[in-house]
Structure 1
Amino acid sequence: MRVVDALADWFAAAGITHYFGYAGGAIWPIMDGLIDHPEIKGIQAKHESHAVHQADIYFRETGRIAPVIVTKGPGLMNAVGGVASAMHDSVPLLVIAGGTATHFMGKAGMQEMYYHGHEDAVSVMRPLTKGAWMVIRPDTVIDTLNQAYKLAVSGRPGPVFVQLPTDIQNSVVEGAIIPPSSREVRTGSRVDAAALDEAAALVRAAKRPVILAGGGLVRSKGGADALAAFTETYRVPVATTVPAKGMLDETHELAVGPVGRSGTWAAADATRGADLIVALGARFSDNNAGNWRKGAIYDTEETKIIQVDLAIEEIGRNYDVTLGLQADAGGFLTDLGAALGGEALAIDGWRQQVAEFKQTWAGEVERVITGDFDRIHPGRLSHEVGEALKRHENTHLFVDIGDIDQYAEPYLQITRPGSWHISSGMAEMGWASEGAPGAAVAKPGLVPIALTGDGAFLMGPQVLATAIEYGLPTVWVIINNKELGIEKKGAGRAFGRNHPWIFFRTPDGEPYNPDFVALARAFGADGERVEKASDLAAALDRGIASGRPYVIDVDTDPDVPTYFTTGLDRAYPDNWYAGYGAQGQLETP
């Protein structure tokens, strides 16, 4: 058999049911080999970056890898941004690329990256992945794939890259196909009894504890159930990072919402007032920590931190920790609950304070969602999308990068853990709008909703063609403000003016966007335009119920200021010599 036949058999042995990618000359042999396995469904996106985002979201929905297959040169280069996003978000991917035939390496043939070495794609992918290989012996292909697969899913997950030159793909091999299950490693991810006792003692001694649920808890099997059980037993207030939004039903009396630059007031008040933060798979990123300014969200001189993470390098990266523990977040929380013995915590006064924080925040939400605005407020739009998720349990939400983040985070309420998804680490525009159909591939019957800006959507509107070709009912809700809103507000605040790139304009200065509804129909999808807030709910219901790709073009107010948690702004230091006041950082005189 050919190597590519062995590869296709390996897919089957690994339990792979779908793959994504885009055709190209350097992967013709792989494509030919997969023809003999029609039970493994291939989804061809309209751009390699879309394929990576769709495979990323496929994994988030199923917990299973769907390989991404791309050609050499520009094909694999188009995948770079998506791979980096997956690495930042700890999403395992297996990216397989074709490569120049070994006979021709270094001859500068078409699409070879030869500038610093023969077919040097591995050098591009190495810093963006957990591992990158070019296979130059046909008899080692399956062994390399098994090693790559093991690395992708073990420990802190992440993407891996394997390149197969075309002559290697066509080479003849023989022997049994060893599946990746034969190389599985069950890693120890529970802490010892002494560490649990120390953590339990810190929790019992705390007067104002807060659980901070992070993306690591999202990736933890049973993490949401562990969080709910711990919260019900010990009644500790719960804040989240943005990726973990909704890990505890946000209508729960102890859920204060996401905390950070654009989090809820209630969450920021809770973390600022806490004397103990139990951080579960949370990196304390710049958004979450208010750019690490002392006291902005956290103050480790006043607040003790227990930081739990599978990745040792994340523990203590940005803040001093009272107790740093390498562990699976969900497993640790279950073990901590057992170590506490079911004994109630004496924090009734703190719970009452948190209830007051939530009441104050509810007033702000009410002002935005019931206010009489001339045009649609993005906070109101976000709220209505959240309400649609409640009405339709067959929906999940995927939030793109842009100004919408800073309204969806505080004003949109998530009640079902796992129904909110965002890629805020690398923050690649188009992640949601291009990747959302991957959720429909992963879970037939699920209707993914991509909440996106016009700038992000225009980076890849051809995703509509993919949704039509494969019958993937997806709803795109587009904030149409004819500009890059987050850029306008951020740069305008910093410099008092804006570059022309920020605005979408015709040569005579008129605001411009394509007709998104007409564009949808040109691809074969459905759509409608919404200009009044009172029409949002019905439009969302129609899109979800349609069972088809559906675009909702929402005319939003471009003049609404960017939302920031009270007391915060973007506030990045822009002069190296200026003192910044970041925790754990030396000061310049």
Structure 2
Amino acid sequence: MPMRTVDAVAEWLEAAGTTHYYGYAGGAVWPLLDALVDRPELRGVQAKHESHAVHQADIHYRTTGRVAAVIVTKGPGLLNCVGGVASAMHDGIPLLVIAGSGPTHFMGKGGMQELFYAGFDDAVPVFKPVTKGAWLAVRPDTVIDLLNHALRVATSGRPGPVLIQLPLDVQLGEVEGQVEPPVRRSVRQRTRVDAADVTEAGRLLAAAERPVLLVGGGLVRSPGGAQALQAVAEQRGVPVVTSLPGKGLLGEEHPLSLGCVGRSGTECAARATREADLVIAVGARFSDNHTANWRKGAIYDMDITKVVQVNVDPDEIGRNYPVELGLVGDGTAFLEDLLAATDGPADAYAGWVQRVAGFRDEWRASIEPVLTAPTSPIHPGRMCYEVGEVLAQRGRVFIDIGDVIQYAEPYMTVRRPGTWHISPGMAEMGWAAQGASAACLVAPDDPAVVLTGDGAFMMGPQAVATAVEHGLPVTWVILNNLELGIERKGAVGKFGRSHPWYSFTIEATGEPYTPDFAALARSFGAEGERIEEAGQFRPALEKAVESGRPTVLDVAIDVTVPSYFTKGLDRFYPDTWGASYPSYGQLKLAR
């Protein structure tokens, strides 16, 4: 029996196991939205901006492990998705963007909202650099095949976003036959490292005296990763450090956990990686922030350290550091196989474990004054620490981009894997503030706390409206410092002065400016509270989390506190041609 292409698409979404779709209405997707009216079991969530929809689909996947669809119109609606899609691509998050376009009859005519400047499919080239694949459908009978292909691309290898653009007349074209479910065209993927290579990794571990397990965002998204990590660490007695996305994969109160290592990681983790003779890196990319811009001896000393790097993406292996073994494979499977292929006493590295435990004790003693700082407004390090304490047994935290990272990374204790979420790759401000509502849509009994700055929150405060509409237990904690803190501090440190853009002020008078975020929240229908005193914060957060209501806590923070960086490090980049800090590579500029 004939049906519209969009009815076939709606049936396909259901067959794909889709539970939610996110987006915003527009004329180019009227047909698809009409078809979805008949599928109320697919829950459509109207974002307040297309970029919010992408961030929501991103966090939907991080929360459930299932791909969500983003449905947007053509032109500006689609272009609003670029930054969010790039963020998902950088972090290896699969999502499916389905966009409309004008009818094929209009191709080449330069219609309203059409991207026609260099060809009929201009939108597709825009997205090719920030997706794993982007396609324009030109025949109704190929759309389901294209969707199956796109979903397979999005979820295989290193995952990532994909885009399909559907012209209006293609959406309304009639087709007949059976809608083939994506399972018939999908792949089951858990690539295992060759057994001989696992054995070789085991030999390197057995020969090491100061080994460290480094785990990153790749292991976060590998099912069973936390359990496999803990088993290897405990049965072999190996200390664990994480990259920023991997924070909490091994609970940070575990005696073998040293916390995050990186530009703003714990000092004990950096000391351990600098002294390690073997680093087994699972699902970690060795990015710039993680390695302090690859400065020799800052986080790693590759003159004394061998690296075994395991990643599902071969392009990441050996990209930034030479490796003793570069292994393509799933992180969980590798750790399980490594454990099975090796044996030996759990105290084989007892002296090393005792040494790094001393590093950890020194670190914790050094930060105690921050965690208990009595000053008001609240020290941002104490604030982030208290968020971790409130969420110790229940709830999740989503970290936005900005100075907040420099306090949350070192000072917050994450005890349970899967409760820490961050998007540091493309580092788009507003990712957490705009997208966290999706976490509570799919897991409404587990509250979410967003740590965001006033700058990041102002990029999309209307995201609060989505939480109100759906009654979601999201709490936004705004670090209100009246500025783009990390930008101002970095510029002043580099140039000794500050541009007006770094601070929020009234131009005519120069006085600091901030909206009344608590009143703004109440205007949306959420709860809102302004926090001025350090002692007010934790009770207010506990109340917000227990209320189950969307809440905004506008927290004045101590603006005299500098950004935290691991001892001896900073945010500066090499910026003088021909003069750089020591790094790793075979060729050097001639003098």
- Relative to the length of structure 1, the TM-score reads 0.98
1:125: how far off?
0.6
Task: Please tell me whether the aligned partners of residues 239 and 258 of structure 2 are also in contact (alpha carbons under 8 angstroms).
Answer: yes
Runs of 4+ in 1 over 4 A off after TM superposition: none
Deviations 1:471-522 (A, max 9, x none): 2221000001100001011111110001001110112111111001000001
1:188: how far off?
5.3
Which residue pairs with 1:569 in the alignment?
570
Match of 2:179 among 177, 180, 193: 177
Deviations 1:313-358 (A, max 9, x none): 0000000001110010111011001111354352111011111000
Which residue pairs with 1:586 in the alignment?
587
Which residue pairs with 1:431 in the alignment?
431
Q: Distance in 2 between matches of 1:344 and 1:359?
A: 21
User: Following superposition of structure 1 onto structure 2, how do residues 119-518 of structure 1 map, counting pairs within 5 Å?
Assistant: 119-187=121-189, 189-341=191-343, 343-344=345-346, 346-391=348-393, 393=394, 395-506=395-506, 507-518=508-519
Q: Distance in 2 between matches of 1:59 and 1:579?
A: 40
Q: Distance in 2 between matches of 1:131 and 1:505?
A: 43
Secondary structure of 2:335's partner? helix
Identity of aligned residues (%): 61
Task: Please tell me whether the aligned partners of residues 398 and 432 of structure 1 are also in contact (alpha carbons under 8 angstroms).
Answer: yes
Which residue pairs with 1:520 in the alignment?
521
Secondary structure of 1:390's partner? coil
Q: Distance in 1 between matches of 2:473 and 2:111?
A: 41
Which residue pairs with 1:103 in the alignment?
105
**Is 1:545 the counterpart of 2:573 in the alignment?**
no
Task: Please tell me whether the aligned partners of residues 6 and 177 of structure 1 are also in contact (alpha carbons under 8 angstroms).
Answer: yes
Secondary structure of 1:544's partner? helix
Which residue pairs with 1:535 in the alignment?
536
Q: Distance in 1 between matches of 2:190 and 2:8?
A: 33
Q: Distance in 2 between matches of 1:579 and 1:560?
A: 29
Distance 1:216 1:294, change over 3 A: same
| AA aligned opposite 2:521 | A
User: Following superposition of structure 1 onto structure 2, how do residues 58-69 of structure 1 map, counting pairs within 5 Å?
Assistant: 58-69=60-71
Task: Please tell me whether the aligned partners of residues 296 and 581 of structure 2 are also in contact (alpha carbons under 8 angstroms).
Answer: no
Deviations 1:346-376 (A, max 9, x none): 2111011111000111012201012333421
Alignment coverage as a number of residue pairs: 587
Q: Distance in 2 between matches of 1:17 and 1:361?
A: 45
C-alpha RMSD of the superposition: 1.0
Q: Distance in 2 between matches of 1:5 and 1:102?
A: 19
Secondary structure of 1:43's partner? strand
Q: More displaced, 165-174 or 293-302?
A: 293-302
User: Following superposition of structure 1 onto structure 2, how do residues 32-43 of structure 1 map, counting pairs within 5 Å?
Assistant: 32-43=34-45
Task: Please tell me whether the aligned partners of residues 374 and 534 of structure 2 are also in contact (alpha carbons under 8 angstroms).
Answer: no
Q: Distance in 2 between matches of 1:354 and 1:15?
A: 46
1:274: how far off?
0.4
Which residue pairs with 1:75 in the alignment?
77
Distance 1:585 1:533, change over 3 A: farther
Secondary structure of 1:283's partner? coil
| AA aligned opposite 1:120 | D
Q: Distance in 2 between matches of 1:345 and 1:101?
A: 68
Secondary structure of 2:386's partner? helix
1:557: how far off?
1.3
Q: Distance in 2 between matches of 1:374 and 1:214?
A: 35
Q: Distance in 2 between matches of 1:188 and 1:19?
A: 27
| AA aligned opposite 1:581 | P
Q: More displaced, 82-91 or 181-190?
A: 181-190
Secondary structure of 1:19's partner? strand
**Is 1:6 the counterpart of 2:18 in the alignment?**
no
Task: Please tell me whether the aligned partners of residues 204 and 345 of structure 1 are also in contact (alpha carbons under 8 angstroms).
Answer: no
| AA aligned opposite 2:530 | R
Secondary structure of 1:211's partner? strand
| AA aligned opposite 2:116 | Y
Deviations 1:161-184 (A, max 9, x none): 000000100110001010110011
Task: Please tell me whether the aligned partners of residues 579 and 587 of structure 1 are also in contact (alpha carbons under 8 angstroms).
Answer: no
1:65: how far off?
0.9
Q: Distance in 2 between matches of 1:374 and 1:173?
A: 66
- Relative to the length of structure 2, the TM-score reads 0.98
